[in-house]
């Protein structure tokens, strides 16, 4: 194929002289420009290509008047560039390249355009368009790869591009899909709410009940089935994630909420009893809150039915629009269970149920949906930052909680347990906000039985602080071997590598000898360690009093990235002292949204963290003992991180390698004697 193009018009732009007086001297500058590009001869180009494949071309570039500059090749679908590359072209000659043809949903077979744009140093451009027929591959078959390691063959059905396999399957099948065409492998997985090419999470197929049914997938639309199809009062529920569905419906106090489409039934589900009452008919509940528009949230994995008030089908209600109020707080509350996230209003904010005019309530169970200690929450006008109820806006008559005043007695408007107060595991507690009198009530209103297995750490029984959380304060020695009793699957736990090495069922303590509060979470299966002042005190250690060093900020987390430290002092992380006054954090670099990678404690694309000499504000990096020091970075650290003031950030243009393990080391051994701190950071 020979395709040649040369622009007919040729305009010679005269040289321009710019004269100016600089120290009684005159300088001239000549610039040659043109609107005529190089000669472009397309010597070869693929006439057709399949989606997921490539398009290759070669083109001869010549120019008698100007030096060459670049050749840009773009693949266009309906004038939209879907792939491009730019080649430096300093000399005349033949240039070749290959462009990838994307495999996207809902794109029919058709003719694409390979556009070649050659530029010379005079900014002249010649453009050549070459048609390329693009078609969607038809696979011989697809492989359905289930999470238990079984492979099923999906064959082409009577419907174009739709592949399916029928068989006896469990109610839920987690799987990926893979196919091959002309040597190219196509892998499909789950991307939050839909199937996407190259996504790696399992697709959560669900039929509701086990039995004989078909699993299908369209390589044209990327639509897959089956998924649970739920309705709320006849309105289809949309899939929010692989586990969660929601429908927005209008409800009236005293009316019914009927959920259909979940074959196993709702007999073992938990309902939010602030909004719903069980009427004895499976899937039908009485509605208890005020009339209005509500999003009904159906979480299949946790078997929980919740609600939140809406001002429209897409916007949550606010105090101003719908009279709604919301609770947002630390990792101490949640429904149906205590959240591990922190102060994240969009994900963790809970809507109060308006049970009477301007009377709103939220009910929790101690150790199940609210922590028994360390409560720190606040009431807001909306499910986001903005309007909030401060100390001067509401009062409380509770014997259990107080409202911070922002003047040394807690943050303004934050709600805390009073000193010495611990909630009972299984105790039912209710917040009632009466906006007729602007009074917040909080009291125990009931008791439920909660099973709690006994767990020991180093021979000492741990105290249960929730149905899944235990803690104990003990003295530990570096190199000490420790056993945890009452946990049968310890090998499946993520153990903080800076503190412990796990071998079989035996733990070896890696950190410095001292006093530690050890926390164990049996749901997410991880451990947390806090350096304490002494074994009998409830006070955490400071740098001077117990070698405590603490970290806060964004881009650092424990144990997963969705539990970032932030600047919340209650979430400050206790760094492991691995040598005398040398502290360490080891973490896997992950995306901000990653809540699955245990030990994913460093965000790969952003970091703004700082270490402190106490669990809170005060002495910090650059002044750990109250006297200013010189903070230095090792050579290898300087290639990855920098100091923004006293915050540790990623160096300019640096992103960490996703999935790789990195080590942050802070050496304060010479901070007092030589007034020098050294920070090291490297890929392990």
**Domain range holding 68?**
3-134
Which of 111, 134, 157 delimits the end of a domain?
134
Q: Tell me which residue has tokens 């240039």.
A: 95
Among all chains, which residue has been given the structure tokens 């290759």?
56
- Residues of the chain with pLDDT > 90, as a percent, come to 74
Question: Would you state the structure tokens that stand for residue 201, as one six-digit string?
Answer: 């999470």
Going by pLDDT thresholds of 50, 70 and 90, the confidence category of residue 506 is confident
Examine the domain organization and report whether 307 and 286 are in the same domain.
yes
Please check whether residues 333 and 408 belong to one and the same domain: yes
Question: Does 65 lie in the same domain as 160?
Answer: no
pLDDT the model gives residue 635: 95
Note the pLDDT tens digit of each residue in 358-374.
Answer: 999 999 999 899 988 88
The CATH number assigned to the domain holding 80 equals 2.60.40.10
pLDDT for the residue numbered 263: 81
The percent of residues above 70 in pLDDT, for the chain, comes to: 94
Of 447, 477, 497, at which residue does a domain stop? 447
Instruction: Quick: pLDDT tens for 155-167.
Output: 999 999 999 999 9
Are residues 172 and 88 part of one domain?
no
Same domain, 506 and 628: yes
125-135/48-50 β-pairing:
parallel
Whether residues 476 and 565 share a domain: the answer is: yes
Is 242 part of any domain? no
The residue among 117, 122, 69 whose CA lies nearest residue 92 is 69
Give a yes or no: residue 245 inside a domain: no
Contacts 24+ apart (CB under 8 A), 25-29: none
Is pLDDT above 60 for 59? yes
234: in domain? no
Q: What is the mean pLDDT of residues 386-395?
A: 96
Cis amide linkage into residue 504, ω under 30° from 0: no
Q: Examine the domain organization and report whether 130 and 152 are in the same domain.
A: no
Q: Which of 238-247, 281-290, 465-474 has the highest mean pLDDT?
A: 281-290
Q: What is the pLDDT of residue 431?
A: 98
Is 309 in contact with 293 (CB distance < 8 Å)?
Answer: yes
One domain, residues 393 and 356: yes
Question: Lowest-pLDDT range, 22-31, 233-242, 404-413?
Answer: 22-31
Give 129-189 as a DSSP string: EEEEEEE----S-EEEEETTS-EEEEEE-SSTTEEEEEEEE-SEEEEEEEEEETTEEEEEE
Report how far Cα 134 is from the mean position of its chain's Cα atoms: 36
Would you state the pLDDT for residue 21?
38
Average pLDDT of every residue of the chain: 90
Helix (H) or strand (E) holding 319: helix 319-322
* Cβ atoms 472, 461 nearer than 8 A: yes
Q: What is the pLDDT of residues 585-621, one digit of tens each?
A: 999 999 988 888 999 999 999 999 999 999 999 999 9
In this structure, is residue 453 part of a structural domain? no
Residues 126 and 152 in one domain: no
Domain CATH code at residue 617: 2.60.40.3620
Q: Residue 456: inside a domain, yes or no?
A: no
pLDDT at 587: 96
Using the predicted structure, report yes or no on whether residue 23 has a pLDDT greater than 80: no
Residue 342: pLDDT band (50, 70, 90) is low
Three-state SS for 491?
helix
Map residue 547 onto helix, strand or coil.
coil
Residue 542 lies in a domain: yes
Q: Find how far residue 482's CA is from the centre of its chain.
A: 34
Helix H or strand E encompassing 642: strand 641-644
CA 208 – CA 221 distance, rounded (Å): 24
Is the distance from CB of 44 to CB of 126 less than 8 angstroms? no
pLDDT (tens digit per residue) in 99-130: 999 999 999 999 999 999 999 999 999 999 99
- Provide the domain count of the chain: 4
pLDDT exceeds 90 at position 322? yes
Residue at a domain's end among 134, 163, 179: 134
With respect to residue 244, please indicate whether it lies within any of the assigned structural domains. Answer: no
Q: Are residues 280 and 423 in the same domain?
A: yes
Confirm whether 232 is domain-assigned.
no
One domain for residues 369 and 297: yes
Q: In this structure, are 205 and 281 located in the same domain?
A: no
């Amino acid at each position: 194929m020979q395709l040649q193009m040369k622009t007919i018009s040729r305009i010679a732009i005269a040289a321009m002289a710019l004269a100016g007086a600089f120290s009684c001297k005159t300088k001239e500058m000549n610039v040659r420009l043109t609107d005529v590009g190089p000669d472009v001869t397309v010597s070869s180009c693929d006439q057709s290509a399949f989606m997921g494949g490539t398009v290759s071309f070669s083109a001869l570039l010549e120019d008698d008047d100007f030096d060459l500059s670049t050749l840009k090749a773009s693949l266009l679908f309906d004038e939209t560039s879907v792939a491009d590359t730019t080649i430096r072209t300093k000399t005349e000659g033949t240039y070749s390249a290959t462009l990838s043809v994307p495999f996207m949903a809902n794109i029919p077979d058709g003719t694409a355009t390979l556009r070649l744009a050659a530029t010379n140093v005079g900014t002249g451009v010649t453009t050549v368009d070459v048609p390329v027929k693009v078609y969607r591959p038809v696979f011989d078959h697809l492989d359905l790869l289930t999470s238990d390691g079984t492979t099923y063959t999906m064959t082409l059905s009577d419907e174009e591009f739709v592949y399916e396999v029928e068989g006896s399957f469990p109610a839920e099948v987690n799987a990926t899909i893979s196919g091959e065409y002309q040597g190219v492998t196509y892998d499909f997985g789950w991307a939050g709410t839909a199937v996407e090419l190259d996504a790696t999470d399992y697709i959560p197929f669900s039929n509701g009940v086990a039995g004989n049914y078909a699993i299908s997938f369209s390589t044209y639309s990327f639509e897959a089935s089956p998924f649970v199809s739920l309705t709320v009062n006849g309105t289809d529920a949309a899939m929010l994630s692989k586990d969660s569905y929601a429908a927005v419906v209008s409800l009236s106090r005293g009316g019914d909420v009927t959920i259909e489409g979940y074959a196993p039934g709702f007999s073992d589900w938990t309902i939010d009893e602030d909004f719903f009452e069980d009427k004895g008919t499976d899937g039908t509940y009485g509605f208890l809150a005020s009339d209005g528009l509500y999003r009904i949230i159906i979480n299949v994995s946790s078997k929980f039915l919740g609600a939140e008030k809406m001002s429209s089908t897409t916007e949550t209600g606010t105090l101003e629009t719908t009279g709604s109020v919301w609770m947002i707080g630390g990792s101490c509350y949640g429904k149906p269970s205590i959240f591990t996230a922190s102060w994240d209003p969009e994900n963790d904010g809970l809507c109060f149920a308006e049970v009477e005019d301007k009377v709103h309530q939220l009910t929790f169970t101690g150790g199940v949906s609210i922590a028994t200690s360390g409560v720190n929450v606040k009431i807001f006008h909306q499910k986001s930052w903005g309007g909030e109820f401060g100390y001067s806006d509401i009062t409380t008559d509770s014997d259990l909680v107080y409202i911070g005043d922002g003047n040394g007695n807690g943050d303004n408007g934050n709600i805390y347990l009073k000193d010495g107060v611990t909630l009972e595991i299984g105790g039912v507690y209710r917040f009632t906000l009466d906006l007729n009198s602007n009074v917040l009530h909080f009291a125990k209103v009931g008791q439920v039985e909660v099973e709690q297995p006994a767990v020991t750490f180093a021979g000492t029984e741990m105290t249960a602080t929730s149905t899944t959380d235990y803690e104990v304060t003990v003295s530990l020695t570096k190199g000490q071997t420790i056993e945890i009793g009452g946990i049968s699957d310890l090998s499946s736990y993520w153990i903080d590598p800076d503190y412990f090495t796990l071998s079989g069922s035996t733990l070896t303590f890696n950190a410095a000898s001292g006093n530690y509060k050890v926390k164990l979470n049996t749901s997410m299966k991880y451990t947390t360690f806090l350096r304490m002042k002494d074994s009998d005190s409830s006070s955490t250690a400071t740098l001077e009093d117990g070698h405590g060093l603490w970290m806060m900020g964004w881009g650092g987390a424990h144990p997963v990235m969705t539990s970032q430290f932030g600047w919340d002092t209650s979430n400050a992380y206790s760094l492991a002292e691995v040598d005398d006054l040398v502290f360490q954090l080891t973490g896997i670099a992950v995306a901000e949204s990653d809540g699955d990678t245990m030990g994913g404690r460093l965000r790969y694309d952003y970091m703004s963290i700082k270490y402190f000499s106490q669990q809170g504000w005060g002495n910090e990096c650059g002044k750990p003992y109250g006297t200013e020091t010189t903070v230095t970075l090792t050579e290898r650290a300087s290639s990855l991180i920098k100091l923004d003031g006293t915050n540790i950030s990623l160096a300019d243009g640096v992103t960490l390698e996703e999935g790789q393990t990195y080590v942050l080391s802070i050496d304060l051994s010479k901070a007092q004697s030589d007034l020098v701190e050294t920070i090291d950071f490297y890929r392990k």
